[in-house]
Structure 1
Amino acid sequence: MGDPQPLVIDATGRDIHGEAARIRARGPVTLVELPGGVEAWAVSSPDLLKRLLTDPRVSKDPRQHWPKWINGEISPEWPLFTWVAVQNMFTAYGGDHKRLRTLVSKAFTARRTAALQPRIEEITESLLDRVEEAGRSGQPVDLREQFCYPLPIQVISELFGLPEEQGAELRAVVDGIFHTSATPEEVTDIYTRFYAAMGELVALKRKSPGDDLTSALIAARDDEDDTRLSEQELLDTLVLMVSAGHETTVNLIDNAIHLLLTHPDQLAQVRSGRAGWDDVIEEALRVEAPVASLPLRYAVEDLAVAEFGGPEGVVIGKGEAILAAYAAAGRHLETYGADADRFDVTRANKEHLAFGYGVHHCLGAPLGRLEARIALPALFERLPGLRLAAEQGESEPVDSFISNGHRTLPVRSA
């Protein structure tokens, strides 16, 4: 296993891939220290991750299986508090997870996702009009701010029936949840504001229901049977769907654009027809996982890692936390070869874990892919001369070890 001391995770996420390489170098599973001195086992082997993520002896419910939570050692000021405190399918285990996911799946159907395509195309074209207009000034345009961010946020807002006037507040609180180096005061403030916003939304939709997911979830909450959502589960499901529903897609679109602009040879492969946009999307998801590391899971009992194909002698103890290291797994040398760090749209093996695996596989993955499949070709067709305004490597990462994207994406279109 190498160094017995935990590798201290940089809460600001300034060097996600350098840190991922250090995690991999310590073996397929290694101890890390999260913000607040909380220790967890980071798993970077894709095969080992798959086995652990599908084993019933690995839980996502801290209330049942994490002694630190049960004993009151995790306070609301902890930067990752919201990630473990919510009561929804993200933190549910066993029968509870099946119940919650079934209820949400009834509202968030494949048909509803597919029906969004014309509206996503319309929003995309409208945003590109603005980007094109802004580019005429000769000044750089921040594509993350003007395109990558507003597309998913508008889609998710319309999908859940969020009032336009809540847009700025929604963005602020979602950014706050992914801000993993936040101060205790900031954490408490964001937590309070997010629940206030979701409470207002539920009250509005109870009074005036519509053809939106919030109204559908309220209907599931108000059904008089044993499977219904509790009021807390309803609010926490909205927190999950609204936050995860756009942050990951923002990063997917942002990273794909940045990769293509910094790898013109790969963009040429797409333009020549030797690779398709789905190839771009899947390779971007592999090499730049939108969620770099996802907290947390917990061992229901002692787990000998060798049983899952890992190294002999390593045991994840009962109640110990597990961190899915997706960014590290996406560039795993044994899985993808010596060029695992390279963005290659013609790569044969683009399989990845960017949307999770097993029963907790991201329910919104089809929507995220659909948005990227519409946004990317539309952007590069409309603005064929698109190029980065900053030199390669100058785009700073977002302040998070969970969220993997850029703070800004300055471009010129002519």
Structure 2
Amino acid sequence: MADPRPLVIDPTGRDIHGEAERVRANGPVTLVELPGGVRAWAVSSPVLLKRLLTDPRVSKDPRRHWKRWIDGEVSPEWPLFTWVAVQNMFTAYGADHRRLRRLVATAFTARRTAALQPRVEEITKTLLDGVAEAGRRGPSVDLREEFCYPLPIQVIGELLGLPAEMGAELRAVVDGVFHTSATPEEVTDVYTRFYAVLGELVALKRRSPGDDLTSALIAARDDEDDSRLDEQELLDTLMLVISAGHETTVNLLDNAVHLLLTHPSQLAHLRAGRASWQDVVEETLRMDAPVASLPLRYAVEDLEMSDFGGPRGTVVARGEAILAAYAAAGRDPGRYGPDAAVFDVTRADKEHLAFGYGVHYCLGAPLGRLEASVALPALFGRFPGLRLAVPAEELEAVDSFISNGHRTLPVELH
């Protein structure tokens, strides 16, 4: 029987999948407590989650539909404040979301993404040269630091036209956004510094526009209503592109390498041609979603969960928050069978929700897949004897219940 008390989510994310099991054990939709005592309904059933993510009675706009926000109970010191306070398509609803997504889509085109492949290949090769050099200096290399992290941050930086001298500060503030056990002082500091970097970038591109995404977003115009992004929307859209386009890919690369090195039989499938690198990418996204839980959505009206295929009698009341529990959904036995927690690149059904679903499906998904499909085969081709430098159980998780990855990924190159 499910525990009627809310399950308290560990803000440090020390045991993402253990916690996901506990969430599932409480039922497909269960009450949880987030940092700061904020309660939400965690949805771990992929079927139920897909239906909620596509229902117009579920909003992402706290200003209109989250009772705690409307009542003034959410302060800027809350660790998840940035996730709900921004004004971009991530937190927009209905017509506002459609307008913002159209504006971003005119700038973040499939053509612009596809054109990045030669540059992704070039950056990958350069980074692997650096990994080899680091391997000559010591017995092990932190692959997250030397490869998984710098690849997507360099790609997104070049996509946005970010000057190299802003890179270090950008990395620091993005890390801060995902640090869900941060102190109030740290939250405020990150929020202020992030806007300072973005403001500097926008001012630079207004003075000297280029063939980059920032310049394109500044110039973007919606043909339907002849609107543009206002200043806050522009800054917050850049914040979304940087955060979503970077951290998720870091974790995708990190988790894929970790899974392959701890499952040599699956690596053997690849080398024997029984599976493709696309299989690796999709199974990693299902098995170890880069974003474990995504805050927040809100009930526009009372929602009886049985109407969505959930348990009868469970009602998410109007104005209550909903947490998309992607890590739990990816290993749901009801959806994937008794081997749901098994990494299997030959699995026929790898469908997942790691990039979201419905109108809020991640626009950057093709870029993340592109980077992984280039980087992973290049890494294992360059270092066929790659192995973990420490026992897998000694690896530590990043300090977040949102971001799902490792603090370090030490490997031996051989």
TM-score band, normalised by shorter chain: over 0.9
Question: Given residue 89 of structure 2, which amino acid in structure 1 is its aligned partner?
Answer: M
Aligned to 1:54: 54
Q: Are 2:214 and 1:219 aligned? A: no
- Using the size of structure 2 for normalisation, the TM-score is 0.99
Distance 1:201 1:224 in 2: 28
Aligned to 2:116: 116
Relative to structure 2, which stretch is displaced further, 389-398 or 224-233? 224-233
Deviations 1:83-107, CA, capped at 9 Å, x for gaps? 0000000000000000000000010
Deviations 1:369-414, CA, capped at 9 Å, x for gaps? 0000000000000001100001122110000000000000000111
TM alignment of 1:246-325, pairs within 5 A: 246-325=246-325
Aligned to 1:388: 388
Q: Are 2:7 and 1:35 aligned? A: no
Question: Given residue 303 of structure 1, which amino acid in structure 2 is its aligned partner?
Answer: L
- In the TM superposition, residue 278 of structure 1 has moved relative to its aligned partner by 0.4
Deviations 1:71-121, CA, capped at 9 Å, x for gaps? 110000000000000000000000000000000001001111000000000
Question: Given residue 121 of structure 1, which amino acid in structure 2 is its aligned partner?
Answer: E
Aligned to 2:98: 98
* C-alpha contact (below 8 Å) 1:138/1:412 kept by paired residues: no
Distance 1:323 1:227 in 2: 32
TM alignment of 1:123-142, pairs within 5 A: 123-142=123-142
Distance 1:392 1:247 in 2: 22
Question: Given residue 244 of structure 1, which amino acid in structure 2 is its aligned partner?
Answer: A
Q: Any idea what SS the aligned residue of 1:393 has?
A: helix
Deviations 1:17-69, CA, capped at 9 Å, x for gaps? 00000000000000000000000000000000000000000000000001111
Deviations 1:273-326, CA, capped at 9 Å, x for gaps? 000000000000001000000000000000000000001101000000000000
Distance 1:221 1:171 in 2: 30
Aligned to 1:187: 187
Q: Are 2:374 and 1:374 aligned? A: yes
Distance 2:93 2:304 in 1: 21
Distance 2:66 2:4 in 1: 22
* C-alpha contact (below 8 Å) 1:221/1:230 kept by paired residues: no
Distance 1:237 1:372 in 2: 24
Question: Given residue 259 of structure 2, which amino acid in structure 1 is its aligned partner?
Answer: L
- In the TM superposition, residue 157 of structure 1 has moved relative to its aligned partner by 0.1
Question: Given residue 208 of structure 1, which amino acid in structure 2 is its aligned partner?
Answer: S
| Structure 1 gap ranges (5+) | none
Distance 2:139 2:268 in 1: 26
Question: Given residue 67 of structure 1, which amino acid in structure 2 is its aligned partner?
Answer: K
- In the TM superposition, residue 225 of structure 1 has moved relative to its aligned partner by 5.9
Q: Any idea what SS the aligned residue of 1:136 has?
A: helix
Distance 1:230 1:68 in 2: 26
Aligned residues: 414
Q: Any idea what SS the aligned residue of 1:312 has?
A: coil
* C-alpha contact (below 8 Å) 2:88/2:233 kept by paired residues: yes
Q: Mark the CA change 1:93 to 1:411 in structure 2 (over 3 Å): closer, same or farther.
A: same
Deviations 1:154-197, CA, capped at 9 Å, x for gaps? 00000000010011100000000000000000000000000000
* C-alpha contact (below 8 Å) 1:388/1:411 kept by paired residues: yes
Aligned to 2:349: 349
* C-alpha contact (below 8 Å) 2:103/2:222 kept by paired residues: no
* C-alpha contact (below 8 Å) 1:221/1:231 kept by paired residues: no
- Using the size of structure 1 for normalisation, the TM-score is 0.99
Aligned to 2:11: 11
* C-alpha contact (below 8 Å) 2:102/2:222 kept by paired residues: no
Distance 2:138 2:80 in 1: 41
Distance 1:225 1:318 in 2: 31
Q: Mark the CA change 1:360 to 1:16 in structure 2 (over 3 Å): closer, same or farther.
A: same
Q: Give the superposed CA RMSD.
A: 1.2
Distance 1:130 1:212 in 2: 27
Question: Given residue 329 of structure 2, which amino acid in structure 1 is its aligned partner?
Answer: A
Aligned to 1:339: 339
Question: Given residue 340 of structure 2, which amino acid in structure 1 is its aligned partner?
Answer: A
- In the TM superposition, residue 138 of structure 1 has moved relative to its aligned partner by 4.0
Question: Given residue 70 of structure 2, which amino acid in structure 1 is its aligned partner?
Answer: I
Distance 1:21 1:150 in 2: 32
- In the TM superposition, residue 227 of structure 1 has moved relative to its aligned partner by 2.3
